[in-house]
Amino acid sequence: MRRRWSLSFVLALFLAWGFCFCGGITGGNDGLTLVEIKKSFRNVDDILYDWTGAASSDYCFWRGITCDNITFEVISLNFSGLNLDGEISPAIGNLRSLVTLDLKSNQLSGQIPDEIGDCSLLETL
C-alpha cells in the first residue's frame, strides 16, 4: 500500500512540475506567434527589442503583452502609441485567447487579416 501511494505521489509531482515549467498545457506557441507578428512590422528593433525568439513564458514580460496568470496565454496586445509601421500579420489568429488588441496611434497599412476571426474571445479592437 505504501509503495502504491509513493508511486502516485511521484506521478502527481511530475505532472505538476511539467505543467509549471513548460508554460502550462496551453500558450506554448504564443511566444513564437509574437515573434512572427513582429516580423510584419518595419523598423521595430528599438521598439520591440525584448521580443526575441525565446520559447519560454518570458514573452509574458515583453513590451505590450499581457498574459493569463495561469495558462500563460496572451490575452492582450497593447501597441498603442508605438508608431509601428507595416501590416498586421495573419499570425494574429494564432493567439486564440486574445481579448484586447490596441493598435491606435500607429502607422499601420493594409487590411485587418481574416485570421483575426480565429480570436474568438476578442472583445476590444
Rounded CA separation 44/71 (Å): 28
Rounded CA separation 89/3 (Å): 53
At 79-94, the pLDDT tens digits run 999 999 999 999 999 9
- Which residues, in sequence order, are CB contacts of 105 under 8 Å at separation 6+? 80, 81, 82, 83
Rounded CA separation 9/14 (Å): 9
Average pLDDT across the chain, whole number: 83
User: Sign of dihedral through CA atoms 113, 114, 117, 123?
Assistant: positive
Q: What are phi and psi of 41, to 5 degrees?
A: -100, 150
pTM for the full predicted model = 0.74
At 44-99, the pLDDT tens digits run 878 998 888 755 668 999 999 999 999 999 999 999 999 999 999 999 999 999 99
Q: What local confidence, expressed as pLDDT, does residue 58 receive?
A: 87
- Which domains does the chain possess? 26-118 (3.80.10.10)
Q: What local confidence, expressed as pLDDT, does residue 50 receive?
A: 87
> C-alpha cell of 115?
485570421
The predicted model gives 101-114 an average pLDDT of 95
> What are the residues facing 42 on neighbouring strands?
85
Contact 34, 51 (CB under 8 A): yes
Query: What percent of the chain stands above pLDDT 70?
Result: 74
Of the listed ranges 15-24, 78-87, 103-112, the least confidently predicted one is 15-24
Give the model's confidence band at 18: pLDDT under 50 very low, under 70 low, under 90 confident, else very high. Answer: very low
